[in-house]
């Protein structure tokens, strides 16, 4: 914003250190050695992780501002991870209680209030800003950064108000229908984020689940190759009622961290789409190792935790594994764990 190259260089240096040396797989930050701060590079303990809820809010604001400054989709990839996991995982399902810190191996309860009440206001204000995280604009360009069922009016794209209606069951599946309703026929470009699940070099996820599988505008196929900034760009004259339909891959992935992180050596985490998954002691013994050859399947459970897509597999001893989304963690008591033994 200032145009100061020294300030910009320092910002990118801080970002690189944060994302590639000090970022938890949930998108949380702050390892706890210095309370509300950071330890050394690659110091990412699970049980003592601080990951304050306010730092997740700050992480979203930081990545969003970098997205606005550069128009690079990777910053939106990062704040999607933080939003769906670190931040939503701080709040219970009735949305009345919250955690101040968010470790990745936890049995802690949630607070109705806290003597340091920063999170009390920060969490809801960040969630209420969802339209800001979803869309941005620049002149005759509209950027779509998140996929959420919604009807939102985006002001002044190419001089006109544009209503965008998203119909989707994301993140449970990857199909999105987007209806574009400009105030009148108008020419502008729509940039749709092509998801990249692992921006940080700390983590490797398999199988690959990046990109967009297919896309069409009013039934006509569109090239899904993203540009250098990570967006699929559709530049055309838009009329009210025009429809974009696309699908992103939603696969169960196994995530492994670099060996530079001591606490996650010999451990694996599970993900599906933007969601990180946990195993909980109310369902199984969480200290068992995963069977590396176990097939990981999904199952929609409408009556569990207000409706979740669960992941099923097996531990090395043949017993059943059940994993739930991290955002639904610690709603039933017991212990909740992201990184399981392998």
Residues 290 and 335 in one domain: yes
Over the chain, what is the mean pLDDT?
97
pLDDT value of position 2: 74
| Nearest-angstrom CA–CA distance, 276 and 264 | 15
The residue whose two tokens read 């604001």 is: 61
Domain boundary among 247, 267, 298: 247
Q: Which of 32-46, 114-128, 267-281 ranks highest by mean pLDDT?
A: 267-281
Among 247, 264, 291, identify where a domain stops: 247
Shared-domain flag, residues 100 and 53: yes
| Adjacent-strand bridge partners of 193 | 231
Domain of 240, in residue numbers: 133-247
Whether residue 74 is found in the same domain as residue 25: yes
Assess contact for 291 and 100: CB atoms under 8 A.
no
* 152 and 243, same domain (yes or no): yes
Measured CA to CA, the distance from residue 314 to residue 300 in angstroms comes to 18
Same-domain check for residues 18 and 120: yes
Number of domains observed in the structure of the chain: 3
Least confidently predicted of 21-25, 98-102, 160-164, 283-287: 98-102
Q: pLDDT over 90 for what percent of the chain?
A: 93
Encode pLDDT of 158-203 as tens digits: 999 999 999 999 999 999 999 999 999 999 999 999 999 999 999 9
| pLDDT tens per residue, range 289-331 | 999 899 999 999 999 999 999 999 999 999 999 999 999 999 9
Asked if 217 and 284 sit in the same domain, the reply is no
Residues 127 and 137 placed together within one structural domain of the fold: no
Whether residue 1 is predicted with pLDDT greater than 70 in this model: the reply is no
| 154 and 180 co-located in one domain | yes
Which pLDDT value is given to residue 77?
99
| Model confidence pLDDT, tens digit, residues 93-139 | 999 999 999 999 999 999 888 888 888 899 999 999 999 999 999 99
Burial 73-86 (b: 16+ CB within 10 A, else e): bbbbbbbbbbbbbb
Positive or negative, the CA dihedral 206, 208, 209, 210 is positive
Give dist(CA 283, CA 279) in Å, integer: 8
Pick the last residue of a domain from 247, 279, 301.
247
User: 177 is written with which tokens?
Assistant: 């229908």
Q: Could you write out the DSSP letters of every residue in 287-311?
A: TSPB-TT---EEEEETTSTTSEEEE
């Amino acid at each position: 914003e200032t145009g100061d190259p020294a300030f910009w260089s320092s910002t990118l240096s801080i970002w690189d250190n944060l994302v590639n040396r000090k970022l938890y797989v949930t998108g949380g930050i702050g390892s706890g050695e210095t309370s509300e701060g950071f330890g050394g590079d690659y110091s990412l303990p699970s049980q003592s992780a601080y990951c304050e809820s306010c730092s997740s809010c700050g992480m979203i604001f930081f990545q969003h501002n970098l997205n606005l400054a550069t128009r690079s989709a990777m910053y939106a990839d990062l704040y999607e991870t933080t939003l769906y996991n670190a931040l939503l995982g701080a709040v219970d399902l009735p949305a009345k209680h919250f955690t101040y810190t968010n470790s990745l191996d936890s049995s802690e309860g949630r607070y109705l209030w806290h003597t340091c009440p920063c999170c009390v206001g920060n969490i809801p204000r960040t969630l209420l800003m969802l339209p800001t995280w979803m869309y941005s604009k620049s002149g005759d360009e509209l950027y779509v950064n998140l996929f959420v069922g919604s009807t939102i009016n985006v002001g002044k794209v190419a001089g006109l108000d544009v209503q965008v209606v998203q119909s989707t069951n994301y993140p449970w599946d990857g199909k999105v229908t987007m209806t574009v309703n400009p105030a009148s026929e108008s020419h502008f470009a729509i940039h749709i984020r092509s998801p990249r699940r692992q921006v940080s070099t700390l983590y490797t996820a398999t199988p690959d689940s990046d990109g967009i599988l297919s896309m069409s505008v009013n039934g006509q196929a569109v090239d899904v190759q993203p540009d250098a900034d990570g967006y699929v760009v559709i530049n055309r004259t838009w009329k009210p009622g025009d429809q974009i339909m696309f699908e992103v891959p939603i696969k169960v992935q196994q995530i492994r961290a670099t060996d530079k992180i001591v606490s996650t050596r010999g451990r694996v985490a599970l993900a599906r789409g933007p969601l990180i998954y946990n195993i909980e002691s109310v369902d199984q013994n969480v200290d068992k190792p995963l069977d590396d050859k176990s097939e990981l399947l999904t199952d929609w459970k409408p009556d569990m935790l207000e409706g979740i897509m669960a992941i099923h597999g097996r531990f090395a001893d043949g017993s059943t594994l059940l994993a739930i989304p991290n955002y639904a963690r610690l709603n039933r008591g017991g212990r909740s764990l992201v990184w399981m033994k392998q």
